[in-house]
Structure 1
Amino acid sequence: MDLERTSFLLGANAAFLADLYQRWLEDPGSVDPSWADFFAELKDEPGAVGRDFAGASWARRETAEIPARRTNGNGALAHVAAEANGGLVGQEEMRRAAQDSIRALMLIRAYRVRGHLEADLDPLGLIKREPHPELDPKSYGFALEDWDRPIYIGQVLGREVASLREIYQIVRETYCGKIGVEFMHIQDPDQKRWIQERVESIRNQTQFTHRGKRAILERLTHAETFERFLDKKYTGTKRFGLDGGESMIPALEQILKRGGQLGLKEVVIGMSHRGRLNVLANLMGKPFSAIFSEFQGNPANPGDVQGSGDVKYHLGTSADRDFDGNTIHLSLTANPSHLEAVNPVVIGKVRAKQMQRGFVKREETRREVMGLLLHGDAAFAGQGLVAETLDLSELKGYRVGGTIHFIVNNQIGFTTNPANSRSGPYCSDVAKMIQAPIFHVNGDDPEAVVHVARIATEFRQEFKKDIVVDMFCYRRFGHNEGDEPAFTQPIMYRVISKKASTRELYAKRLTDEGVIAEGEGEGMVAEFQARLERDFDASNTY
């Protein structure tokens, strides 16, 4: 092989190597003996690798033309081989360097495909994730003595050369941290490449400024303090609180802020009752005194009442919000207790608003008007309306240029555990049918949640396609505040009862980092609580 001219690590030859390996798997005698010996030494389990390369059972099989074999040359791989062997390069050193490179690339690809299976997603620590053999370097023939040897990877992961130790650290941080990414099922190469480069270039984490971190803490404080205030003033009253999933509020703020920077002018929001009061107050800007008045049995707008009205956690509203000079009109659609019923209504409203802005320039209007759907985990997996709405998303006459789906995954459906309510590993699996990228994220890491929300917004604006954020969190109280969940989920609620809140954990983190002073987090709580008390007093005359 002329490694200087036809290195298999070059992008143009990646398909060549895959095809050659597939030929060898099917018939070892069909390839050059030197390649046959080389592949045999990889010691991969043929069935597993074969299935990985084969793709779908119905996929068309084509055999690529393989260029003539060359016998001289050295190139980048030879340079790495020389570096690893004190400047001496023989056939055996070249062979080992090539073997290292192929094994390393296969390991990297395994993390892109299956890294999410070992991500730290559950804030309760109840999900015990077994190590996956395809994510273990030993499965590719690497031993302990191989961890620090330089390996040529041809700008994969942004590096020309890296040791196995460095490669392992990068892929673990990128794909097995607080975020798990599912994107390798996407067939569009541009979309797949965009996500891959977006997460790998920064190891799937945003370095927030001190100001940004304080803003996240402030939003968490408002979300948590509001729920606790309601629990104190109206103990046992149904409110379907967001307790345990408060990271959703700063994430939604990020979607709107980043969206405004990317041309977004209007957002239609659909959601069920879980967390609706928090969204109304802290995202839509509905007066706290109006919400408190509703808890006292009064309508929020007495002059508009024509009948008996509806419960407060079904109501919608609209508002204009300003983000860095970009004004975005928000519309929260009313929704009954029938979960997910609002989804096609939201999509229809988005389509109508886009057409009102001008059908001729529809590509521009799709960038300007977006749907944002908030889901529960059990409903997203269990309600057929979700799949039906997804199925419409790419159809002419129904497409709206992509919707952001945000799942508040509290890992329970009323009293049913996930293992008893769905067959797939994730509640978001149904979204794979439209090749939507899926980001799973630990809700106890608000920076990770905000980071994922930012990527979701950028992807939607870039490709006009649906994307899913699956935020693993928990439900601190029962299905509603009058329930006692410990009767049906005693283990889960024993853990929850002892658990610090997301805000408390994040405030401590920022204190340890020196972003806020000792006690400043509690000061934020006291300040916001005083505001709520003032609005509570004002609600008597609202």
Structure 2
Amino acid sequence: SYGFEEADMDRPIFIDYVLGMETATMRQIIEVVEKTYCDTIGVEFMHIADPEEKAWIQERIEGPDKEVSFTLEGKKAILTKLIEADAFETFLAKKYTGTKRFGLDGGESLIAALEQIIKRGGALGVKEIVIGMPHRGRLNVLASIMGKPYQAIFNEFQGGSAAPEDVQGSGDVKYHLGTSADREFDGNVVHLSLTANPSHLEAVDPVVLGKARAKQEFYDNDRTSVIPLLMHGDAAFAGQGIVAECFGLSGLKGHRTGGTIHFIVNNQIGFTTAPHNSRSSPYPSDV
């Protein structure tokens, strides 16, 4: 307690709006800090060198009224997406037992998060989102986010093609394939482009960044019009050098995209390797 006694807990202290309050008691400060940093969502921002960027984040997460909350309709929408994602994985596991599918089991909240990004992005003027992701959860994203018909996905499991007339050359596995679609929320249309990728983990990252940058050129270099969004596995993000290379290019004039949204699906294992044997840092995001 750093020398504070019970009598000190309710004494007002001038804190100059650090937590959105001019004055606060120790009890109030502890309550706000615990809600901000000890709940279900964590925020890392103290490493940011730009004080204005740091203050922008701090202002939006710290304070007695900054708790994340959802309306009843919002909660129902999230639940619906979670049920859809879970039911999809459950069906595939039962129907195609033993078949490679790289399920999203345990990471279904990714689907609800992607849905919100598309909706919120459209409201803020985003025109396109360029997506890159590994095998893990790809089929679920194709179905739940990109709107690929379930019939087409199931046909691929049975050795067929989603669109036989589109097949050129030798066949490819279903979790390498990309697609594009338009999603509309509240009258705002956002074009989604899921980039095709090979088996080589994270190789799609610079492709997505370059594609997003090229698309921004067509919007008069408006960085807010096109968002690159990358999804990763925990082991691949920490272990593949191309991730750090892309971060190294992110601030350069000829490569910057205005920022990239990253998701790390942390299922605690890379192939057969546990986290403590695969990286030197506590979190996979510590690149």
Q: How many angstroms apart in 2 are the aligned matches of 1:203 and 1:196?
A: 13
Is 1:396 aligned with 2:229? no
1:369 to 226, 230, 239: 226
Report if aligned partners of 1:269, 1:331 keep a CA contact under 8 Å in 2. Answer: yes
Give 1:435's aligned residue: none
Give 2:134's aligned residue: 272
Report if aligned partners of 1:376, 1:408 keep a CA contact under 8 Å in 2. Answer: yes
2:204 to 339, 342, 347: 342
Give 1:244's aligned residue: 106
1:184 to 46, 58, 62: 46
Q: How many angstroms apart in 2 are the aligned matches of 1:234 and 1:252?
A: 26
Any gaps of 5 or more consecutive residues in structure 2? Answer: none
Q: Which aligned pairs between 1:231-380 and structure 2 lie closer than 5 A? A: 231-358=93-220, 362=221, 365-380=222-237
Give 1:428's aligned residue: 285
Any gaps of 5 or more consecutive residues in structure 1? Answer: 1-137, 431-542
1:418 to 272, 275, 281: 275
Corresponding letter in the other structure for 2:121: G
Q: How many angstroms apart in 1 are the aligned matches of 2:128 and 2:241?
A: 27
Instruction: Decide which moves more: 254-263 or 301-310.
Output: 301-310
- Residue 202 (structure 1) shift: 5.7
Report if aligned partners of 1:293, 1:300 keep a CA contact under 8 Å in 2. Answer: yes
- Residue 203 (structure 1) shift: 5.7
Give 2:241's aligned residue: 384
Structure with bigger helix share is 1
- Residue 204 (structure 1) shift: 5.0
- Residue 156 (structure 1) shift: 2.4
Q: How many angstroms apart in 2 are the aligned matches of 1:303 and 1:158?
A: 59
Corresponding letter in the other structure for 1:384: G
Find the residue that maps to 2:4 and give its secondary structure.
coil
- Residue 425 (structure 1) shift: 1.4
Report if aligned partners of 2:20, 2:64 keep a CA contact under 8 Å in 1. Answer: no
- Residue 410 (structure 1) shift: 1.2
> How big is the alpha-carbon RMSD for the aligned residues of Structure 1 and Structure 2?
1.2
Summarize deviations over 1:195-250 as a string: whole Å, max 9, x none.
00100146653221110000000000110001101111101111000010000000
Q: How many angstroms apart in 1 are the aligned matches of 2:202 and 2:155?
A: 27
Name the larger-Rg structure: 1
Report if aligned partners of 2:21, 2:63 keep a CA contact under 8 Å in 1. Answer: no
Summarize deviations over 1:152-211 as a string: whole Å, max 9, x none.
223221222222111111101111111121101111111101100100146653221110
- Residue 397 (structure 1) shift: 0.7
Corresponding letter in the other structure for 1:184: M
Given the superposition, is the C-alpha separation of residues 213 and 309 from structure 1 closer, same or farther in structure 2, using an over 3 Å criterion?
A: same
Aligned residues: 287
Find the residue that maps to 1:274 and give its secondary structure.
coil
Percent identity, aligned pairs only, is 70
TM-score by length of 2: 0.97
- Residue 404 (structure 1) shift: 0.5
